[in-house]
Amino acid sequence: MTREHDDRDELARLLPDPADRGLSTHRHRQIQEFLMTEMQPPQRPVRRPRRGFALVTASVLAAAAVAAGAATGGFGLLSGEPGAGADVVATQQPSAETPVAATFRLAAAHAATQEWTDPRPDQWTYTKYWSQEPGPLAEHYRWSGPPVTREWWEKIDGTKVAGPQETERVEELVLDNRLPFLMALPTDPQELLAALREELADPNRMRLDHAMPFSFEPKTEEEWNLALYSNISSILQIGVLPPDVTSALWQAAALIPGVVQRDEIIEIEGRKAVAVSVVLDGWFEVQLLLDPDTHEYVGRRTLYAADHTYGPDQGNVRAKKGEVEYVTIRLDSGIVDKAGDTT
Amino acid sequence: MRARIRAGDRDAFRDLFGEYARAIHHHAYRLTGDWSTAEDVVSLTFLEAWRLRERVDPDEDAGPLRAWLYGVATNVARNVRRAARRHSAAMARLPRPGPEPDHADGVATTMYERERLALVRRAMARLRKNEREVLTLCVWSGLGYAEAAQALDVPVGTVRSRLSRARRKLAGLVDAGGLSPVAKKAEEIREPAARPGQTRRDRTNAVRFAQENTR
């Protein structure tokens, strides 16, 4: 027996191991989830806009037209009887309405006509979605990969979330979700924007936006616009909120300065979509994707509107114009009785 | 694996956590003597590992990452407050333990277990901090001398001498009657049967009272 074993064996004989219990499975998973959330790439210093009013282009004019539409009642009539919204809105079309204003108006109208029964607190939202992170930054951080289809549940009372864990078995996690906050959002678009901004600004409430490839703390108004727009897109992804709230979300998106509509119809996973975007500083674009016929939410996407080179914190990653960083398509959603149920 | 950790691959960190979280939790408890602190050490260890990931030796032949991770954990346990300050924002977001009995109060409430823990604490208190670290790594966590040396960033000879010194001190404690070799004792001690009407809490309090009077 070596001296190493001599000392170790003797010490083991003298002293029993005091650590005779361990983390519970629940706590183990809770800490793991916490760490996976915390382990994000370093915060990227957000570039300041190079210009002020020089950036105000057709997009702002378009948004102004949308806002004018709202102010003149184009959106304000959406809280009427279910089933009547679309027709009412169609008749309220402002005479100088821009394409992006029309898209948001029709999306809000579509949302307002959806059937709805208030869920019980013990029920869950169910969302099934397809997503992919094919972009250069995702590649740099090695979280890119083939497209995935995932299912996710959130309890209406806000206390739990659930999804397939490592074992592929759906497991409930005791983690707060935003549903109580989202379900109670104001149905006035301006008030809704203010509520979202207040929540985003609260340092005690962690908001992760999976569409953003870098940590993002808005400072300038342009950055706030992007953050709010991306936030709205993430809320719409849930797909199961009261129709008046969903409608107000579309109206609120229309009020964000800088919204532009892309001309082309794109196709992702067999779904045709029209993209309505906000662009940060001319290079980073967040898109809401809508069905071109029904104006229903399809998904969201982030991509590069211009070539861009990140700073050293992001490994000086170079992105080319048109490269997609993140894209997701909602496949299904609904209210179910328990985690694991589908619609 | 080393390359993935260095590159900040979150899946690699998830695997690392899955493989070592419980072992690090035990290691932290052995060093701090407190389960709640040990739990914080687990979180802080992996936050520190994430922060220091680029310092991992890229040589894939250098073996598993166990020694490096134990080194990070040992450093955290040496000064939990400092590590907690560094990661205060993140730790504020760590969900507090729920109502589930993470460290079920019924787990270590037998007389034997209480006595055993008191004995170990008493013995550990006789050792220097660096001797406790070596003992914990080599005896209870199962690291070899070379791994422990790597974890503590000291020469192998230092590990050997510290462990040897710890053994001599504890043997001296046995000779002085202050410590019994419990590997044998474990077979002899049985929890006394509860008296009628006595609850587990009664026994726990009784043992605690006894412990306080033996310090």
User: In chain A, what residues touch B135 (CB-CB under 8 Å)?
Assistant: 11, 15
User: In chain B, what residues touch A31 (CB-CB under 8 Å)?
Assistant: 17, 21, 39, 42-43, 94
pLDDT of the residue at A189: 94
Q: Are B47 and B89 in contact (CB under 8 A)?
A: no
B168 touches chain A (CB under 8 A): no
CA–CA distance from A235 to each of A184, A299, B22, B177 (Å)?
A: 13, 11, 36, 68
Q: Are A28 and A166 in contact (CB under 8 A)?
A: no
pLDDT of the residue at B111: 53
B104 touches chain A (CB under 8 A): yes
User: Partners of A309 in the beta sheet?
Assistant: A318
A14 touches chain B (CB under 8 A): yes
CATH topology agreement for domains B1-98 and B108-215 = no
Sketch the domain layout of chain B as residue ranges. Answer: 1-98, 108-215
pLDDT at B3 over 90: no
pLDDT of the residue at B107: 39
| Chain center to CA of B6 | 26
Q: Are B136 and B30 in contact (CB under 8 A)?
A: yes
pLDDT of the residue at A60: 30
More confidently predicted of B172 and A301: A301
pLDDT of the residue at B26: 92
Which 145-164 residues of chain B touch chain A by CB within 8 A? 145, 160, 163-164
Kindly give the parts of chain A with pLDDT less than 50.
1, 43-92, 166, 206
CB contact under 8 A, A21 and B103: yes
ipTM: 0.74
Contacts of A287-291 with C-beta under 8 Å, sequence gap 24+, read: A287/A233, A287/A262, A288/A229, A288/A232, A288/A233, A288/A236, A288/A253, A289/A329, A290/A103, A290/A107
Mean of all residue pLDDT scores within chain B: 73
Q: How far apart are the CA of B189 and the nearest CA of chain A, in angstroms?
A: 14
B121 touches chain A (CB under 8 A): yes
pLDDT of the residue at A309: 92
Question: At A315, is the secondary structure helix, strand, or coil?
Answer: coil
Nearest to B145 among A4, A22, A35 (CB): A4
Count how many Cα atoms sit within 13 Å of the Cα of residue A7 in the half-sphere of its side chain.
23
| Total Cβ atoms within 10 A of residue A328 | 26
Strand segments, DSSP code E, in chain A are 124-132, 148-155, 161-164, 170-173, 259-268, 271-280, 284-290, 297-304, 308-309, 318-319, 324-336
pLDDT of the residue at A303: 94
More confidently predicted of B20 and A66: B20
pLDDT of the residue at A55: 27
User: In chain A, what residues touch B166 (CB-CB under 8 Å)?
Assistant: 7, 11
Chain B residue with minimum CA distance to A165: B14
pLDDT at B24 over 60: yes
Q: For B18-39, what is the mean pLDDT?
A: 88
pTM of the model: 0.49
Task: Report the distance separating Cα A119 and Cα A241, nearest Å.
Answer: 10
Q: Are A130 and A270 in contact (CB under 8 A)?
A: no
Nearest to A235 by CA among A333, A143, A118: A333
pLDDT in tens, A140-194: 766 667 888 888 888 999 888 787 754 567 777 766 678 999 999 999 999 999 9
A17 touches chain B (CB under 8 A): yes
Q: Which residue has the tokens 């998904």?
A: A299
DSSP class of residue B141 equals S
Q: For B187-197, what is the mean pLDDT?
A: 32
pLDDT in tens, B52-108: 888 888 887 777 889 999 999 998 988 887 788 778 778 877 877 654 333 333 333
Nearest to A28 by CA among B17, B108, B73: B17
Architecture of the domain defined by B108-215 = Orthogonal Bundle (1.10)
Q: Amino acid letter at B61?
A: D
Task: Report the distance separating Cα A145 and Cα A115, nearest Å.
Answer: 37
pLDDT of the residue at A174: 66
pLDDT at B194 over 50: no
B186 touches chain A (CB under 8 A): yes
Q: Of A6-15, B151-160, B161-170, which gets the smallest average pLDDT?
A: A6-15
Question: Would you place residue B36 in the very low, low, confident or very high pLDDT band (cuts 50, 70, 90)?
Answer: confident
Domain B1-98 indexed as CATH 1.10.1740.10:
yes
Q: Which two tokens stand for residue A139?
A: 């590649």
Q: Which two tokens stand for residue A314?
A: 């992001």
Nearest to B10 among A28, A143, A166 (CB): A143
